[in-house]
Amino acid sequence: MLIAFIALITNKNFGQSVSSSPYSLFGVGTEFESDFGSIPGLGSSGIALPTNKFINNLNPASLGFMYQNHFLFDVGGKAIVTTYQDVSTKEKRNNVQFSHIAFAFPISKKSGVSLALKPYSSSSYSISNLSLGIKDSDEFYTYSAAGTGGLNDLDVSYGYRLSKRMSVGATGSVLFGNASVDENYLVDVALLNISKTTNYNGVRLTLGTQYAIDSTFTIAATIKSPSKINASKVASITSVTASGSSIITSEEAVDVNDYYMPTEIAIGLSKSFKENFNATLDYQKSFWSDTNQSDSYGVFTNQDKFAAGLSFEKSKKGRSYFDRFKYSMGFNYDTGYLEIDSKKIQNTSVSIGVSVPLDNMFSMLNVSYSYGQKGSITNGLIKENYHKLSLNLSLDGFWFVKRKFE
């Protein structure tokens, strides 16, 4: 039955949701990538990069290295073309998504703060006319469903530089949102409609640190706390027969399990060499098994993420406009945390990017392209092949500087 559910999921227009992946059926939806600046072109790596020219959403400790009097603003979006494929069919869908809005500024010579709003997860799916057998009977019923929703993430971050080489930071994340599903069960000419909405809210803490071994080599680490996302559900049930319709229940509270976020630890490296190149390497471990929870159709298992990136800038002090272009490439591999029929939903992608300068300071238009594959055709699952174009506008303003001339 699970395989049939996944195979029949199709796209649906939605408001809050920003994903149409069939795997958004599970949990609170598909986790959304909201990387800032040039990070999408680096394979989503960069835990060890400081926040001196752009806002680094991967590590709050980076805020300790902000330049004085600089106000940073970042806003972005994505355009995605995805092909879904199983053993017999193939379908293509297009999607344009808001990614994030964020700003950061220093509050002292050794510290800075940032505020960011972004999607955390998203869910959009529909199941049409799925014929299922009635238990202990030779009869069948037809099942249809449509789901939308997801969680939003409001982050407040603070970073402090303990010394010339070391900084620490913390992020408080407020997660909130809802997921709705409208289900129809048709038996002969009788229709049963069940509409359910689950509301979620919770908080999460992230701690981070960065240490510059020298001017070319930085190491970093982050840890995200386990947290409970409180859930409450209401449901309405309507029965429709040949004689008319009747409401059985309306907006009645029903039992629902809370959702649990795991402990996540990550380490990162950043190394500059030959003055023009910089390499980044990140690893993250998420302990989903420790949350002791499962989905109706799958189980949560420990997750590993590997990300690597390489950037090139011809000259950091180049006089030519084109000398200040920055080019990047990256790789990302995610083992996934969801296991369906003993098969994990893995994700692999490669990326390239370019950062185009907009003025004489640090303002950049960051454009990146990535190609990736998620899931597989084996075991009756669906394979996603996606092309993603990311546009991030990173603006730098110079504040509170005394005028030299009147």
Structure tokens at 242: 């040949």
Q: Which two tokens stand for residue 65?
A: 């290295």
pLDDT on residue 130: 74
Residue of higher predicted confidence among 169 and 397:
169
Q: What pLDDT sits at residue 306?
A: 98
pLDDT attached to residue 128: 75
Residue appearing with tokens 């009788």 = 190
Closest by Cα among 118, 120, 124, 126 to 95: 124
Tell which CATH architecture fits domain 2-398.
Answer: Beta Barrel (2.40)
Dihedral, 97, 21, 33, 223 alpha carbons, nearest 10: 150
Residue 324 has pLDDT above 90, yes or no: no
Residue 12 has what pLDDT? 34
Give the chain's radius of gyration (CA, Å).
24
Question: 328 near 44, Cβ under 8 Å?
Answer: no
Which pLDDT score, from 0 to 100, does residue 13 have?
32
Q: What percent of the chain has pLDDT over 70?
A: 89
> C-alpha distances in angstroms, 88 versus 70, 84, 129, 291, 336?
55, 11, 18, 36, 25
**Residue 275 is encoded by which pair of tokens?**
């003055």
Alpha-helical (H) ranges within 111-255 are none
On average, the pLDDT of the chain sits at 86
- pLDDT value of residue 20: 58
- State residue 102's pLDDT score: 96
- Pairwise CA distance, residues 47 & 188, whole Å: 57
For the cut 50, the answer to whether the pLDDT of residue 290 exceeds it is: yes
Is 405 strand, coil or helix?
coil
d(C-alpha 31, C-alpha 248), whole Å: 35
Structure tokens at 36: 């800032």
- What is the residue whose two structure tokens read 């510059």? 212
In the DSSP assignment, the letter for residue 16 is S
Three-state secondary structure of 57-90: CCCHHHHHHCCCCEEEEEEEEEEEEEEEECCCCE
**Residue in 251, 136, 236 with CA at minimum distance from that of residue 183:** 236
The pLDDT, as a whole number, for residue 38 is 94
User: Which has more pLDDT, 328 or 193?
Assistant: 328
pLDDT tens figures, 34-64: 899 999 999 999 999 988 889 999 999 999 9
> Where on the phi/psi map is residue 6: left (φ > 0), alpha (ψ -120 to 50), or beta?
alpha
Average pLDDT rounded to a whole number, residues 172-190: 90
73-125 tens-digit pLDDT = 999 999 999 888 877 778 888 888 889 999 999 999 999 999 999 999 888 77
pLDDT level of residue 380 (50, 70, 90 thresholds): low
Gap between the Cα atoms of 36 and 20, Å rounded? 22
Q: Where are the domains of the chain?
A: 2-398
